[in-house]
Structure 1
Amino acid sequence: MKTVQLKKIGNENLKYISEEITLKEPLVLVFGNRYMLQDKNIYDEIKTVFPDGHLVFGSTSGDITSESVDDESITITAIEFEKSSFVIKTTNVLNNENKINSFKTGKELIKQLPQENLKYVFVVSDGSFVNGSQLTKGMNAATDDNLLITGALCGDGSRFEITLTSYNEPPKEGKIVAIGLYGDTLEVSFATKGGWTPFGPERIVTKSQGNILYELDGQPALDLYKTYLGEKSKELPGAALLYPLKVKSSDEKKSIVRTILNINEEKNSMILAGDIFEESKVQLMMTNVDSIVNAAELGASKALEYRNAKPELAILVSCIGRKLVLDQRVEEEVEEVLEVVGKDATVCGLYSYGEIAPFNDEVNCQLHNQTMAITLISE
């Protein structure tokens, strides 16, 4: 595996982070600031550098390399696989008979990929219109429970306005890109880790619809949430990213963290990043910088645990909520991962609106919030 990384900050020209190498038909991951990806010239500029490259774009809430975490930039990671191959398929969640059906979109997307010898899929998804939990359920439905899928719902800083994705075209809204990897020697491992601690009483969801939470214990959910936040409730919806919900469905063995993306004052409800079902048990969560950084280290160790070969590529997908907690210390969780996986691996990734990966020690992918999802790849 050969890799090259470039960075574009503001109006500067593209600059090489690593040594300039000529790559043959590389996979080119382009993660960065939404406004910069909207520049009409950005696609042509990158295509000029990689004329035979397969360009996959995704907007972020911060792009990640081993060097830094940046908000006002674009990071380009070009990868030439020497023993493996890849196939890329796309769909648009907005083109589904004029009705957004994230489950159907996810299922059809994975089915587009040739299934023979398919080892792994990395997904770069719209983060505005898609229902991430339904997307992952649809993708799982297209497999025989033996296909590893990780990825991200794209971000837009803390603005939550527009997210952009694309494959071999200028970035646009609603697109979902699936990159299927094939190869006998391909080794892919993963882990997810949060570092959040529940607090306060456990409550029952008594009214919900899809990803909208209306009532807890028969009371308006938003009123209860504001009561716990106290003075911080004046900072909603932004403050909600700092206090996600631990959710455990009655038919699920494990709990999952759900970010609150927005609130509806008129309906006294909260809009979550994924589905929340009636009769689920929920609890508020909180964290601090040290807990998040420690979780990143534990996640990296878990991803390395059963590997045979050293990782050559590390894809890190972390959550915008974690970034807000880390603030000026945001690079520390990346540094902890680097300490574990080693300096030889090329690191790329993004801060997202949702992390796609299985629970540890499982195969079916899930939508996570407030986690660091680590994927390690070697040939």
Structure 2
Amino acid sequence: MKIIQASKVENQGWNYLQKKVTLKNPLVLVFANRLLLEDDAVIESIRKEFPYEHLVFGSTAGEIVSCNVFDNSISVTAIEFEKSSFVVKRENILDYGKDAQTLGKTLYNKIPKENLKHLFVLSEGSFVNGSSLIKGLENDIDLEVSITGGMCGDDARFEKTVASYKENPKEGEVILIGFYGDTLEISYASFGGWIPFGPERIITKSEANILYEIDGQPALDLYKKYLGDKASELPQASLLYPLNVTPEGKKEPVVRTILNINNDDQFMILAGDVPMNARVQLMMASVDGIATGAQIAAEFAMKNRKADPELAILVSCIGRRLVMNQRIEEEVEHVRETIGEKIPMTGFYSYGEMAPFNESTSCELHNQTMTLTLISE
């Protein structure tokens, strides 16, 4: 595997982390600020610098390259596989009436199945129900095939996200990358580091990712009472106080971030499903807790690997970034220390992360986690 990484911050030139060489038919991952990806001149400059066919673009809430976390930048990772291969497919949620499950089924059906090892998802992040998207992808999936990925970001603006494959980035895109090959080793993990607090309550009215009532009370009204003065800062304030949701009959909870609120009808729209009768509790975090969570995720991802990783893709949540603020690079450094100093790292801050629970293969949508995908041939 050959990897070339470069980043471009504001008006500076391209900064290469490895010697610039020409690659053969690489997969090129481009993570950047949404406003940059909407600038045709910027896209043209990226295409000129990386004149390859398979360019995948995604907007972010912060770009990760090596141990650095940047704002308003472009991060490019070009990957040339020696023994393995990849296939990229795309669909647009706006063509499906925002039905993410049907889109997921369609995308998975478009991917060749022979020797398929892993799927990486890069999804629109503003209004796609990530849980439904995963259900669609896993509808007919081989149990040996794992899924990881993330929902695109838009800093803390929450206006819109953009993504694309080959084309110029636009709203609504969901990109699916299939990785193939017998020699391919892909491991993954996801961990948060957030702490539940306050009473545990029951979701008494919900529909998919819309939360109407908790303990028979309007969900938004109850949530605002907990937030106090910070309620006026919703929905951004919810990134600091997500919900810990344990579906009925399941042991493992998932963390859910609030994407939007409806003050008139007192409901909240979350990044993933919040089933009826699930137990729900508020969460909070410390900087040290989040940094330690990233280390635990890296330890899980490295556990039982046969070979050292050759590439690490990190997807971490915008909420973690807001909590850690100036210390955000600490969680990336914890990952670096755990997986190895020389492993190339790329990734982004997201509106949702996709990965199986540790020790599982069934994918889940997470919020507020550090999610790792480690790849080697």
Distance 1:219 1:329 in 2: 38
Deviations 1:15-58 (A, max 9, x none): 32322122111110000100001111233222222323410000
Distance 2:272 2:309 in 1: 31
SS of residue matched to 1:261: strand
Cα displacement (A) at 1:197: 0.8
Match of 2:199 in 1: 201
For residues 188-337 of structure 1, the aligned pairs below 5 Å read 188-337=186-335
For residues 60-139 of structure 1, the aligned pairs below 5 Å read 60-96=60-96, 99-139=97-137
Cα displacement (A) at 1:151: 0.4
- For structure 1, the 5+ residue unaligned runs are none
Report if the CA contact (8 A) 1:206-1:217 is conserved: yes
Report if the CA contact (8 A) 1:118-1:182 is conserved: yes
Residue among 184, 187, 196 paired with 2:185: 187
**TM-score, reference length from structure 2:** 0.98
State yes or no: 1:172 paired with 2:170: yes
Report if the CA contact (8 A) 1:47-1:53 is conserved: no
Cα displacement (A) at 1:258: 0.4
Task: State the AA in 1 paired with 2:156.
Answer: S
Deviations 1:221-267 (A, max 9, x none): 11211111122222222111100001111132321110012221111
Distance 2:210 2:87 in 1: 36
SS of residue matched to 1:290: helix
SS of residue matched to 2:138: helix
Report if the CA contact (8 A) 2:294-2:335 is conserved: yes
Change in Cα spacing, 1:184 to 1:144, as seen in structure 2 (3 Å) is closer
**TM-score, reference length from structure 1:** 0.97
Deviations 1:114-154 (A, max 9, x none): 10100011111111231101001111113022211100100
State yes or no: 1:23 paired with 2:23: yes
Task: State the AA in 2 paired with 1:93.
Answer: I
Distance 2:376 2:209 in 1: 36
Match of 1:44 in 2: 44
Report if the CA contact (8 A) 2:30-2:57 is conserved: yes
Report if the CA contact (8 A) 2:67-2:336 is conserved: no
Distance 1:18 1:93 in 2: 37
After TM superposition, where is structure 1 displaced by more than 4 Å over at least 4 residues in a row? none
Distance 1:161 1:331 in 2: 25
Provide the aligned length of Structure 1 versus Structure 2: 377
Once the two structures are overlaid, the 10-residue window that deviates more, 11-20 or 38-47, is 11-20
Distance 1:175 1:221 in 2: 31
Match of 2:9 in 1: 9
Distance 1:222 1:130 in 2: 21
SS of residue matched to 2:94: helix
Match of 1:56 in 2: 56
Change in Cα spacing, 1:42 to 1:120, as seen in structure 2 (3 Å) is same
Cα displacement (A) at 1:216: 0.8
Cα displacement (A) at 1:291: 0.4
Report if the CA contact (8 A) 2:187-2:373 is conserved: yes
Task: State the AA in 2 paired with 1:71.
Answer: D
SS of residue matched to 2:40: coil
Task: State the AA in 1 paired with 2:40.
Answer: K
Distance 2:134 2:250 in 1: 15
SS of residue matched to 1:295: helix
Task: State the AA in 2 paired with 1:106.
Answer: G
SS of residue matched to 1:307: coil
Report if the CA contact (8 A) 2:67-2:332 is conserved: no
